[in-house]
Amino acid sequence: MITKNITPSVYYTGVDDHTTPLFESLWPLPYGVTYNSYIVKGEATALIDTAELNSYEAYLSNLLNHGIDAPEYLIINHMEPDHSGCIPLLCERFPKMKIVGNRLTVGMIKGYYHIEDDTRYLVVKDGDTLDLGAGRVLSFHTIPMVHWPETMVTWLESEGVLFSGDAFGTFGTTDGNPIDEHLPGIDVFMSEMHRYYACIVAKYADQVQRALTKLADKEIKYICSTHGPVWHKHVAEVIATYNALSTYKVEPGVVIAYGSMYGNTTEMAQLLAERLEAAGITVKLHNMSNTNLSFVLADIWRYNGLIIGAPTYNGAVFPPVAALLSALEGRGLRNHVAAAFGSFTWAGAACKKIAEALAGLSLDMPAAPVEMKMSMNPATRAALIEMADTLVPAILAE
Ligand code: FEO
């Protein structure tokens, strides 16, 4: 069943994007992405968030098809251009429409879109309300850094609808059928939620926790995020998922992320994988040269074990693995059992630098790093087996 009516006063006006290859020009979109936006109708009408600029025609068409010709308000929960991109064109189209946002939001609109006329804005603070009439009252609640400083959520108490911005969002299009209980393949969206979180939100885990605490007293019936399905049937599950992700509640298992130019470091990674799998541990083996970083990050935020290995390259870590280390440092990875291995031909550097990077994140590192010269030999084999055997109880202890 296809329905875009979320509740009697809330209507979905989002757009499916099947053509953009990389979200934020970084993250692959094998299932596409949506830019979700909504209408709330009381006696007055409010639009909530817009869409990416290239989707303007489709977005406007959705509004016009719903009879929107003079909305009173445009509420901006989040200013990243995938949601704010249509603000200027929409303001031209609806010259009497007020833009509703907090002080930081208004500063960003002026900075990005140069809408300087202050009479266009209705500036709100944390906890302020906006009465649309007919019993529809919206309230605004700031959730800074989930995922920009200005971000807020909008709450419609009368129907239990939370307009959550990026929070609880996920990659994947809904193809005109936005509500979760009508969508096939919900497992893909849940899996993509891990990848979305690990790539985009993970740095702000503490702020996500603060946001969840702030929203805990609300009886949420619908979560209208800016990406992916409208959550209704799965509200409790997605809140639990966000709680688990932002508190690093990871499952037992190991990601082995490695680089290798000629197969020698691959041999080290495979030996570790075989030994750990033989001990009954789930292993995700990722060659960083041919796996997009986003899928590796998603697995790292799912499992509690992390082993990283690379050859030495220009006196440093092989670049695809160095990119992973940088991504982990940027996100402040926590609560993992970690280990390092590496290889070299004439002067070792990678193994030491990987171990230092992991130690810099204050991860639990019970096993000694293993460094190999040129190719596999009995001493390296024995050291890797010892590494795996040392990690097993630490991983299974979760
Ligand atoms: Fe979907 Fe942070 O924008």
Model confidence pLDDT, tens digit, residues 206-215: 999 999 999 9
Q: Under 8 Å CB-to-CB from 15, ≥6 apart: which residues?
A: 34, 35, 37, 51, 52, 55, 58, 59, 62
Measured between alpha carbons, how far is residue 148 from residues 167, 195, 225 in Å? 11, 18, 15
Question: Is 90 exceeded by the pLDDT of residue 398?
Answer: no
Token representation of residue 69: 């010709």
Q: Measure the CA dihedral 85/89/90/91, to 10°.
A: 110
Give yes or no for a contact between 181 and 1, defined as CB atoms under 8 angstroms apart. Answer: no
Residue 383 CA to ligand 1 center (angstroms) comes to: 45
Atom of ligand 1 nearest to the CA of 35: 1
- Ligand 1 centroid to Cα of residue 165, in Å, is 7
- Domain borders along the chain are 4-246, 251-390
Q: How confident is the model at residue 3 (pLDDT cuts 50, 70, 90)?
A: low
Quote the CATH superfamily of domain 4-246: Ribonuclease Z/Hydroxyacylglutathione hydrolase-like (3.60.15.10)
302 CB under 6 A from ligand 1? no
- Cα separation, 54 vs 72, in Å, equals 24
- In this structure, which amino acid lies at residue 52? E
Q: Give backbone dihedrals phi and psi of 353, rounded to 5 degrees, phi first.
A: -70, -35
Q: What is the mean pLDDT of the chain?
A: 97
Residue 203 φ/ψ, nearest 5 degrees: -60, -25
- CATH superfamily entry for domain 251-390: Flavodoxin domain (3.40.50.360)
DSSP secondary structure, 58-97, as one string? HHHHHHHHTT-SS-SEEE-S--SHHHHTTHHHHHHHSTTP
- Band (pLDDT 50/70/90 cuts) for residue 176 is confident
Ligand 1 pocket, 201 CB below 6 A?
Answer: no
HSE-up of residue 9 (Cα within 13 Å, Cβ side) = 23
Which one, of 21, 75, 382, 99, lies nearest residue 226 by Cα?
75
For residue 173 the two structure tokens come to 């299009």
Would you say the CB of residue 77 lies under 6 angstroms from ligand 1?
Answer: no
CA-based angle 112:116:117, to the nearest 5? 145
| Count of beta carbons in the 10 Å neighbourhood of residue 322 | 19
Ligand 1 proximity of 150 Cβ (cutoff 6 Å): no
Q: Is 83 touching ligand 1 by the criterion CB < 6 Å?
A: yes
Residues in the chain: 398
- As a whole number of angstroms, the distance between CA 365 and CA 299 comes to 19
What pLDDT digit, counting tens, does each position of 333-384 carry?
Answer: 999 999 999 999 999 999 999 999 999 999 999 999 999 999 999 999 999 9
User: Does the beta carbon of 227 sit less than 6 angstroms from any atom of ligand 1?
Assistant: yes
Residue 17 Cβ contacting ligand 1 at under 6 Å: no
- CA-based max dimension of the chain: 78
Range with the lowest mean pLDDT among 52-56, 180-184, 357-361?
Answer: 180-184
As a whole number of angstroms, the distance between CA 129 and CA 278 comes to 58
Looking from the CA of residue 227, the nearest atom of ligand 1 is 1
Q: Does residue 147 have a pLDDT over 60?
A: yes
pTM over 0.75: yes
Q: What is the pLDDT of residues 91-133, one digit of tens each?
A: 999 999 999 999 999 999 999 999 999 999 999 999 999 999 9
Contact between residue 203 and residue 140 where contact means Cβ atoms under 8 Å apart: no
